[in-house]
Amino acid sequence: MSGPADDRRLPVADARGVRRATWELLRHDRRALALVVTLTVLAAAAGLAAPRLLGEIVDQVEAGAGTGVLDALAAALVAFAAAQFLLGRFAYYAAHRFAERALARLRERFVDRTLALPTSVVEHAGSGDLMTRSSSDVATVGTTLRDAGPDLFLAGVQTLLILGAITLVDPLFGLCALVGAPSIWAATRWYLRRARSAYLADGHANSAVSESLAATADGAGTVESLGLHGRRIAEGDRRVADSYDARRRTLRLRTVLYPVLEFSYGLPLAMILLVGGVRYLDGAIGVGTVVTASLYVLQLTDPLDRVLTYLEQLQRSNASLARIEGVGLITDAADAPSGETPVDDRIEVVDVSHSYVEGRNVLIDVTLSVRPGERLALVGPSGAGKSTLGRLLAGIDAPSTGNITVGGVAVARLGAAELRRRVVLVTQEHHVFLGTLRDNLSLAAPEASDTRLRAALDAVDAHWVDELPDGLDTRLDTPGAALDAARSQQIALARVVLADPRTVILDEATALLDPSTARQAERSLAAVLAGRTVIAIAHRLHTAHDADRVAVLEGGRITELGSHDDLLDAGGPYAALWRSWHGPAARRAATAGRPDDHGRNS
């Protein structure tokens, strides 16, 4: 239940990948972006008028101008302030709309990529990391797009225009305004060099906390029964301590950056007052010019402040976007189907070995051929590798070495959609999702009509759908529709009918159900399996008895392969298994006259 090992983390996009993703987000909606840019520049330009007009007013007062001139200047001041306000509002409105659309695209792409992730990747990485990426990382990027982005853009434009305006007032003042730039540049550079890795580490540590909490909640029953509270709390404490350390590292970066920046942007005003005072005393410039330049420099404080405030947000969102884009790296790599179509449904396993842990093979040189329509039973002691072989055949994991092909095409190169049309693994885990019965069934066949959905339910004897208050549209999370294990399994099996794969791999599909439920489930299963290739991991040997062939797995190797009768005659491991099983369990099954995992009566 501990979190995933570091090398199993979901990947993170590099700086280039993040730049590309940002550019794609921006350029997708070019017209909206152009509107935002235009309104922002106009709003910033309107803001430049006030210091100019105030300087002019000071000069006019000094020159003894009449109230008419001063009134006109004051009216212009108000008009520009109003224009700046209105243009600024429109710019923000346009920027918000643009940002919401960009965020919606980002979310949709993330959901598409997440749903296309190979099951094994999600299992290995753990759901906590994926949850953090889909919640707090997407929210962080959302805040940047919606709030920080537009504000930063406006601040950037304002800064440039104000610097230009100061230079126009007096080039010397332009130089004074830049006096803080070197220290701002140096401090920012220092910060940015360290910030990416520090914020990424912060994100990972955050994920690890979620991962640990999710694992404890998922395994609450096990924690309770084995008395693991102390260990789980210690594990949680460790993760929180790591997260605390990571946060402290980012805090340390900010405690260096911000004071340097605060000092640096106070410097220009001091320089302008100093130089302006000297030049005024020399008679080179009027007091109005000094006032204008000082007001401009003061105006510079606001956008610089905003840039400062958002620098951390930008770093956070940079790291978050890297993590969001990282999910695409797996999907893109995994989702590279060869485009080849299998010629038939023959499954060939050639020299397959597999290990979960380096150097410990749980399957060794397995070679096996399953013809279309065949019913093959996999038997063997616990831990022999049966489920592992089932997962490899279903393409959930890729074999460490060797090849598995369906109709001549490697399972790994079939592509998720084609693979699911060919092979489906049915286990005892059958998840019912929040939503309606229709939602739950349509997962397997999004285009299926009501008639097809109902036919699939009929095929697995799920006639209880007629008793539901809203039929297919009944929400399964309401108390009236509460589903027991048998009904949940029927839904899972109806999904298999809808997906209509040629090959079904059964792994403990009915093992956890109580006997009466299991009987019903096995009847449903019989309907699902009709006409398909079936590879059944057989826990009850009556399944093996009725299979066309039986493969015996021991210690990761196939030690016997043949029909039930041939293997009994051979007197090897299968005969021994059969003899040990054929005692009370076989008699019970025979007395109950119950159908086996293949839907036949034993």
Instruction: Give the residues lining the site for ligand ATP (CB under 6 A).
Output: 356-357, 362, 380, 382-388
To the nearest whole angstrom, how small is the minimum distance from the Cβ of residue 132 to ligand ATP? 22
To the nearest whole angstrom, how small is the minimum distance from the Cβ of residue 37 to ligand ATP? 52
Contact predicate 449/421, CB 8 Å: no
Residue number with CB closer to ligand ATP (471 or 572): 572
The three-state (H, E, C) secondary structure of 351-367, written as one string: EEEEEEECCEEEEEEEE
Residue number with CB closer to ligand ATP (85 or 356): 356
Query: Whole-angstrom Cα distance, residue 501 to residue 444?
Result: 11
To the nearest whole angstrom, how small is the minimum distance from the Cβ of residue 103 to ligand ATP? 36
Q: How many CB atoms lie within 10 A of CB 563?
A: 14
Residue number with CB closer to ligand ATP (123 or 461): 123
Task: Give all strands (DSSP E) within 371-485, no chain letters.
Answer: 375-379, 401-406, 409-410, 423-427
To the nearest whole angstrom, how small is the minimum distance from the Cβ of residue 218 to ligand ATP? 15
To the nearest whole angstrom, how small is the minimum distance from the Cβ of residue 475 to ligand ATP? 34
To the nearest whole angstrom, how small is the minimum distance from the Cβ of residue 101 to ligand ATP? 41
Query: Whole-angstrom Cα distance, residue 360 to residue 263?
Result: 60
Query: Whole-angstrom Cα distance, residue 243 to residue 225?
Result: 29
From 234, 241, 231, select the one nearest 206 (Cα to Cα).
241
Residue number with CB closer to ligand ATP (328 or 380): 380
Residue number with CB closer to ligand ATP (391 or 454): 391
To the nearest whole angstrom, how small is the minimum distance from the Cβ of residue 383 to ligand ATP? 4
Residue number with CB closer to ligand ATP (123 or 348): 123
Q: Token digits for 595? A: 């159908």
Dihedrals phi, psi of 184, to nearest 5 degrees: -65, -45
Q: What is the DSSP letter of 376?
A: E
Contact predicate 99/148, CB 8 Å: no
To the nearest whole angstrom, how small is the minimum distance from the Cβ of residue 581 to ligand ATP? 14
To the nearest whole angstrom, how small is the minimum distance from the Cβ of residue 386 to ligand ATP? 4
Residue number with CB closer to ligand ATP (386 or 495): 386
Number of Cα atoms under 13 Å in the Cβ half of residue 399: 26
Query: What does 544-594 look like in DSSP terms, one character per residue?
Result: HHHSSEEEEEETTEEEEEE-HHHHHHHTSHHHHHHHHHTTHHHHHHHHHT-
Q: What residues contact 415, with CB distance under 8 A and at least 6 apart?
A: 335, 336, 337, 338
Residue number with CB closer to ligand ATP (112 or 429): 429
To the nearest whole angstrom, how small is the minimum distance from the Cβ of residue 35 to ligand ATP? 52
Contact predicate 87/39, CB 8 Å: yes
Residue number with CB closer to ligand ATP (338 or 401): 401
Dihedrals phi, psi of 356, to nearest 5 degrees: -90, -35
From 196, 161, 159, select the one nearest 181 (Cα to Cα).
159
Residue type, 170: D
Going by DSSP bridges, is the β-strand pair 557-562/549-554 parallel, antiparallel, or unpaired? antiparallel
Residue number with CB closer to ligand ATP (319 or 513): 513
Query: Whole-angstrom Cα distance, residue 352 to residue 346?
Result: 16
Buried b (16+ CB within 10 A) or exposed e, 249-276: bbeebbeebbebbeebbebbbebbeebb
To the nearest whole angstrom, how small is the minimum distance from the Cβ of residue 387 to ligand ATP? 3
Residue number with CB closer to ligand ATP (357 or 482): 357
To the nearest whole angstrom, how small is the minimum distance from the Cβ of residue 575 to ligand ATP? 19
Residue number with CB closer to ligand ATP (325 or 507): 507
